[in-house]
Amino acid sequence: MIQDPNQPTALTGPRHRLREAAQAVRLHYVPAVAIGLCYLAITMMWTLYAAYVPVFLDADFGLRATAIGAVMMLDNLASLFMQPWIGARSDRLRSRLGRRLPIILIGMPFAALGFVLIPTAAQSLGGLPGFILVVTIMLIGMSAIRVPLFALMPDFTASKHRSTANGIINLFGGLGTLIAALGLGVVYRINRAGPFWVAGGTLIVTVLILVVVIRKLAGDSLSNAGPDHAASDDLPSNSLRMLRDLLVENWRGIPLLLLAIFFYTFGINAVETFFILYSRKTFEIREEQGLAILGVFFLSYLLASVPAGIIGERRGRLRVMIVGLVVISVLIGLGYWLATVPLLLLFMPVGGLAWALVNSNALPVILSTTSPTRSGSAVGLFLFATTMASIVSPIANGWLVETSGGNYNLIMLTTSLAAAAGAFCLLGIRLRGAGRQSDLVGVAVNSEQ
């Protein structure tokens, strides 16, 4: 009997398509969920750290604002110097647990232990030196975890699915911030050490879940896991040379990418740091009202993270990032010239969506500039650019406000210009890609679009 070619067969019918969809979810998005759970714990910890460590430094030790700022700068300094090296080191590591998990497992207990000791360090560990010691231990552990954690995503997720996977990870990160800010604040009022125990315990549990999931997915091939990964015997002999080679081999595009990342992080950090003061000084509204307006931005960003990744995969990541940055630049620029509360409330949801278009696609774009054997190095450079911007932005924007006589509205102008500069850098990569078919441009522009 001859089968009608239009009839669905066992290989093309709904059941087969459902099986293929389930397989794709398992291969590409289950790892993202496991990574996202760890990122949820990390953002819980960072939110609590940023909120309460300055309070402890003031209440327990009587430090002045400058000294508090110096202590709070330690996390950025640790990240700046450690993360690129750790990323390159993870690329070169070979073990039964693969390239990333050993570093995560080594860093996790230091991060968790240091973190849970922070609220009681003043009383139990000899005052300020003991406090600085546990903070340093925690920061080293966190710096060790972050790069290999994010580098696991390209190890297990094919390039065309990475924006959606990154959106899933960012979604969990946003949930962690909300849990820490809204839920654990209640715990803090009962016992100031309580939120730290909850977040530290969450990190331990989620890392163990990650290990189980990754080992189950990779099986016996954990050291060479990943859809695009192939073992390489010609890797540089040390981590610094790995980073140097990555920049040299992709000199046409990676510097522009890193510059774009620096610019837009510089701008968004200015908003995060000074928005409450801006809203109070410009509109004479209370702090909680300013926080509520900013919350509209982050809620829309949270909801748009995964859809923004899907849009990037379908429309081209660089193109989508450029659109997002242009929208941010225009909206915030209008906010500078037409500063009113109703206008801000109108712009914030659109701004959150635009930021999701940028942030969900940024890491996959820089990952596409190099081979899978160097993905940890690429993640390290990405985080180096964001960390550098987070160090420079508060200082530069604070200086600008001071020299202008306290005009916080200038924050909106610098953010608008920084977003425009980031879009200009990305546009340069696109234009260069149209004229030169280098390896970088061919992957980062043509195949990604």
Instruction: Kindly state whether residues 190 and 67 are assigned to the same domain.
Output: yes
Residue that finishes a domain, picked among 192, 225, 258: 225
Q: What pLDDT does residue 255 have?
A: 82
Domain count, the chain: 2
Instruction: Kindly state whether residues 187 and 253 are assigned to the same domain.
Output: no
Looking at the domain assignment, is residue 308 inside a domain?
yes
Instruction: Kindly state whether residues 207 and 259 are assigned to the same domain.
Output: no
Q: Give pTM, 2 decimals.
A: 0.81
Looking at the domain assignment, is residue 376 inside a domain?
yes
Instruction: Kindly state whether residues 255 and 215 are assigned to the same domain.
Output: no
Range of the structural domain that residue 415 is part of: 249-447
Instruction: Kindly state whether residues 35 and 68 are assigned to the same domain.
Output: yes
HEC readout, the chain: CCCCCCCCCCCCCHHHHHHHHHHHHHHHHHHHHHHHHHHHHHHHHHHHHHHHHHHHHHHHHCCCHHHHHHHHCHHHHHHHHHHHHHHHHHHHCCCCCCCCHHHHHHHHHHHHHHHHHHHHHHHHCCCHHHHHHHHHHHHHHHHHHHHHHHHHHHHHCCHHHHHHHHHHHHHHHHHHHHHHHHHHHHHHHHCCCHHHHHHHHHHHHHHHHHHHHHHHHHHHHHHHCCCCCCCCCCCCCCHHHHHHHHHHHCCCCHHHHHHHHHHHHHHHHHHHHHHHHHHHHHHCCCHHHHHHHHHHHHHHHHHHHHHHHHHHHHHCHHHHHHHHHHHHHHHHHHHHHCCCHHHHHHHHHHHHHHHHHHHHHHHHHHHCCCCHHHHHHHHHHHHHHHHHHHHHHHHHHHHHHHHCCCCCCHHHHHHHHHHHHHHHHHHHHHHHHHHCCCHHHHHHHHHCC
Residue that finishes a domain, picked among 225, 259, 282: 225
Looking at the domain assignment, is residue 337 inside a domain?
yes
Rounded Cα distance, 158 and 26, in Å: 12
> What are 420-436's pLDDT values in tens digits?
999 999 988 765 553 33
Instruction: Kindly state whether residues 102 and 173 are assigned to the same domain.
Output: yes
Instruction: Kindly state whether residues 215 and 254 are assigned to the same domain.
Output: no
Instruction: Kindly state whether residues 216 and 272 are assigned to the same domain.
Output: no
Rounded Cα distance, 76 and 382, in Å: 14
Instruction: Kindly state whether residues 218 and 253 are assigned to the same domain.
Output: no
Instruction: Kindly state whether residues 328 and 430 are assigned to the same domain.
Output: yes
pLDDT confidence band for 2 (50 / 70 / 90): very low
> What are 119-162's pLDDT values in tens digits?
988 777 778 888 899 999 999 999 899 999 998 988 888 888 89
Looking at the domain assignment, is residue 243 inside a domain?
no
CATH value at residue 431? 1.20.1250.20
> What are 274-306's pLDDT values in tens digits?
777 777 777 777 766 777 777 788 889 989 999
Residue that finishes a domain, picked among 175, 192, 225: 225
Rounded Cα distance, 15 and 277, in Å: 56
> What are 213-256's pLDDT values in tens digits?
988 887 655 555 444 444 444 555 455 666 666 666 666 677 88
